[in-house]
């Protein structure tokens, strides 16, 4: 490291994973300062966080052990497992370690682990298969079909749209996108623009923004390689599992892009849906803006 920098250790807030990771400090005279989000080194550090906390190279010794006084132990085990799943440490194709192994690793009783897994199963976060073990609840065509898609056809039937990718580019994040995805101003993102058809009609114009460091190599794919259901791609190729999404819905008038790609008249009413998708630990991983022609559609939400 250069003479102007020192290496410190601090609770990592950048990646939101609750792990102790090295942070760079820039030293001004005798006063150390944490690198700000506007620093050029910030994105390099964020990529380091992603590398250190994703995949099989993650050390088994890096475990947040439950501690008395921090709430019920089974809850702490649950939160630790959710962090590990969000970090990609438990592939959906492999069972979680046995209750006995998890108990030994977390330093708790086996019954505590069982209670944590039972709660996760009730929340549909994991699935127990008799004789095979406990697996992370995976995205698949059946689950994605309507879990995150809420537009209903005029005849009341739910149909999954088809997709045509218009463009896929890599660029610097905008201020609005950086705020939505908790990125630094210098971060790079992948932008996907596509049209989705329902009932043989152009219905939705989508703009999807993804942090480049969470999806390495995605921007290098040919647009024809992108599947219709992107969440399964995030899971299978990048170990990023979308657990929940927050949506904001507004009514807007059609602009030039809507006229071109949806065939609407300028000023025609449409539904704008802004969605931020999050992983199990609450990390925002996708910003999606959908502009919907609701002439033959309605927004449907089943509230439990």
Q: To which residue do tokens 């807007």 refer?
A: 252
For residue 29, count other CB atoms closer than 10 A to its CB: 5
pLDDT for 158: 74
Q: 58: which residues sit within 8 A by CB, 6+ positions away?
A: 52, 87, 89
The Cα–Cα gap between 273 and 249 comes to 5
The Cα–Cα gap between 180 and 87 comes to 20
- Tell me the pLDDT of the chain (304 aa) as tens digits: 444 443 333 334 334 333 334 443 333 333 333 444 444 444 554 555 554 444 444 444 344 566 655 678 998 998 888 888 777 788 877 899 999 999 999 999 999 999 999 988 887 788 888 888 898 877 655 455 556 777 887 777 777 788 999 999 999 999 999 999 999 999 999 999 999 998 889 999 999 999 999 999 998 888 888 988 898 899 888 988 888 899 999 999 999 999 999 999 999 999 999 999 998 888 999 999 999 998 988 888 776 5
pLDDT for 273: 95
pTM of the predicted model, to two decimals?
0.63
pLDDT for 65: 61
| Distance (Å) of CA 44 to CA 41, 51, 83, 85, 179 | 5, 11, 22, 23, 18
Residues facing 164 on adjacent strands: 195
DSSP state of 58: S
Domains, the chain: 5-53 (no CATH), 73-136 (1.10.10.10), 141-299 (3.40.1410.10)
Read off the tokens for 265.
């008249």
pLDDT for 135: 87
pLDDT for 9: 37
SS (H, E, C) 182-229: CCCCCCEEEEEEEEEEECCEEEEEEEEEEECCCCCCHHHCCHHHCCCC
């Amino acid at each position: 490291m250069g003479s102007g920098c020192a290496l410190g250790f601090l609770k990592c807030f950048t990646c939101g994973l609750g792990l102790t990771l090295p942070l760079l400090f820039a030293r001004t005279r005798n006063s150390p300062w944490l690198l700000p989000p506007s620093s050029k080194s910030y994105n390099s550090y964020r990529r380091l966080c992603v590398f250190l906390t994703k995949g099989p190279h993650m050390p088994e010794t890096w475990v947040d052990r439950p501690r008395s006084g921090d709430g019920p132990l089974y809850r702490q085990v649950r939160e630790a497992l959710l962090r590990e799943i969000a970090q990609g440490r438990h592939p959906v194709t492999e069972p979680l370690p046995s209750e006995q192994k998890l108990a030994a690793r977390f330093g708790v009783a086996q019954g505590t682990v069982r209670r944590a897994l039972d709660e996760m199963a009730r929340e549909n976060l994991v699935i127990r298969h008799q004789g095979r073990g406990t697996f992370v609840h995976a995205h698949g065509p059946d689950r994605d079909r309507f879990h995150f898609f809420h537009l209903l056809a005029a005849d009341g039937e739910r149909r999954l749209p088809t997709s045509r990718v218009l463009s896929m580019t890599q660029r610097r994040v905008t201020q609005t996108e950086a705020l939505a995805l908790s990125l630094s101003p210098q971060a790079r993102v992948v932008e996907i623009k596509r049209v989705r058809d329902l009932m043989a009609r152009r219905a939705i114009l989508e703009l999807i923004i993804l942090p480049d460091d969470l999806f390495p190599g995605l921007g290098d794919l040919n647009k024809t390689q992108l599947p219709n259901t992107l969440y399964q791609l995030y899971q299978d190729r990048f170990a990023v599992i979308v657990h929940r999404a927050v949506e904001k819905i507004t009514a807007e008038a059609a602009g030039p892009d809507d006229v071109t790609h949806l065939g609407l008249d300028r000023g025609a009413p449409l539904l704008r849906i802004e969605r931020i998708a999050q992983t199990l630990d609450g990390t925002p991983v996708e910003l999606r803006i959908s502009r919907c022609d609701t002439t033959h559609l309605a927004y449907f939400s089943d509230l439990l």
